[in-house]
Structure 1
């Protein structure tokens, strides 16, 4: 029972983090695009929309458990991209706190990698995926 609760709480934390990020993007799309543009990326507004919908997809995967491992791996790659693109070494001299933001992304990555390997748990989970098959189903 404790294992199931811990996994569900972790899924809610992942969904909450990406859900808040998506909500902030949807609520301030032009500000998000300006932030993306300031980092040197072209096509900032389409990228902002893409990021918001990607994060929304991650939320759905984390809440339902469908394609959970795949979502966790994609989220991990996304988090590493965000770390380097928006908080990487070029930002540290101007604001030393950026180094902390950078490192925090790798802590998040560790949790996502762990989640990807261990899956969404046995409770409240659709357990569909492409990479790793359901362990219970493959044992039979």
Structure 2
């Protein structure tokens, strides 16, 4: 249940965090829409089947995540899905099998975990009370 005594700086922090999450996913989806073929190629290079289909699925998912963070609607489940998604991306595209060939991949891999932690934190705290469409997800007021 949201804290009724939320201070203005806490409200601002939640809004800024939502904007940062939205911006990160928006950058990802923009690159996908600018060159879906390149995204499919990257997915294929990682060994996944149906790369163009998966590229479109990723673009749609990321678009939905952007909308959730901008509006606050379904933020808790969106943040949970986002945390699983970025953790998966870390392992699938930058995991241990990539480290031997390029040690910079370890840094890329590790960068996914603070992002996932932030998404989990957002899932727990919800969208806040300001500028948030909150359809009443179970457990949220």
Using the size of structure 1 for normalisation, the TM-score is 0.93
1:45 is paired with a residue whose SS is helix
Question: How far apart in 2 are the matches of 1:9 and 1:36?
Answer: 31
Residue 116 of structure 2: which of 90, 109, 120 is its match?
A: 109
Partner of 1:12: 19
Residue 39 of structure 1: which of 39, 42, 46 is its match?
A: 46
Partner of 1:67: 74
Could you tell me whether the CA contact under 8 Å between 2:126 and 2:140 is conserved in 1? no
Partner of 2:5: none
Partner of 1:95: 102
CA drift of 1:39 comes to 0.1
Unaligned runs of 5+ in 1: 135-140
Partner of 1:58: 65
Residue 84 of structure 2: which of 55, 60, 77 is its match?
A: 77
Structure 1 consecutive aligned stretches of length 4 or more whose deviation exceeds 6 Å: none
1:133 aligns with 2:140: yes
1:86 aligns with 2:93: yes
CA drift of 1:101 comes to 0.7
Could you tell me whether the CA contact under 8 Å between 1:69 and 1:131 is conserved in 2? no
Could you tell me whether the CA contact under 8 Å between 1:70 and 1:129 is conserved in 2? no
Using the size of structure 2 for normalisation, the TM-score is 0.93
The alignment yields a C-alpha RMSD, in angstroms, of 0.8
Question: How far apart in 2 are the matches of 1:84 and 1:93?
Answer: 14
Question: How far apart in 1 are the matches of 2:34 and 2:14?
Answer: 30
